[in-house]
Amino acid sequence: MNLLIALFLILFEACPEGLSLAGYKGLAGGMEFIFLAVITFVMFSYTTGVHRILSRRQTVLSLQPNIFRVLGGYVLLRFAIFDIIHNLCAGVPLFFIGNTKWYDQIWQWFFAWSGIAADHFLFMFKLIAFLIGVSWLMGWQHGIIKDR
């Protein structure tokens, strides 16, 4: 099993980089997405106890968080902070929208169509996503419960 894990990690790290250098950026992005999705699911399935259900051991998990809420919280938190961290490291404006990725093109179309200021909209949108993501990841969807 360790050999399969090592091969998976190496393959999905090397292939997207090579494909990107060869000019196949779409395929490289798809492979990188699959890699990150599998790693994310495996990590959160361990912390939420889903691995016990999949292995048919101890299927009653009353205090474990819901895997869908945890994955949703991760997606919201990643949406909220990934671009900000990336833009700060790249030295571009905080809410910079590129033109190469498909979601950047959707954002550009939306802001051109609506006439809404991108900085203000993205700040509020990402702030709301950040707050919901943190609350779901911390298990605060029903309020902060002192005793579980």
Question: What pTM was estimated for this model as a whole?
Answer: 0.65
- Reading the block at residue 92, the tokens are 């571009």
Residue 144: the pLDDT is: 66
Segment (H or E) for 55 = none
Q: Can you tell me the mean pLDDT for 83-91?
A: 81
Residue with tokens 């919201």: 76
Share of the chain above pLDDT 90, in %: 14
Q: Can you tell me the mean pLDDT for 38-46?
A: 77
CB 129 within 8 A of CB 80: yes
State the alpha helices, DSSP H only, in 23-101: 25-48, 50-54, 67-90
pLDDT in tens, 107-147: 999 999 999 988 899 999 999 999 998 888 887 766 666 55
Q: Which of 144, 39, 70 is nearest to 61 (CA)?
A: 70
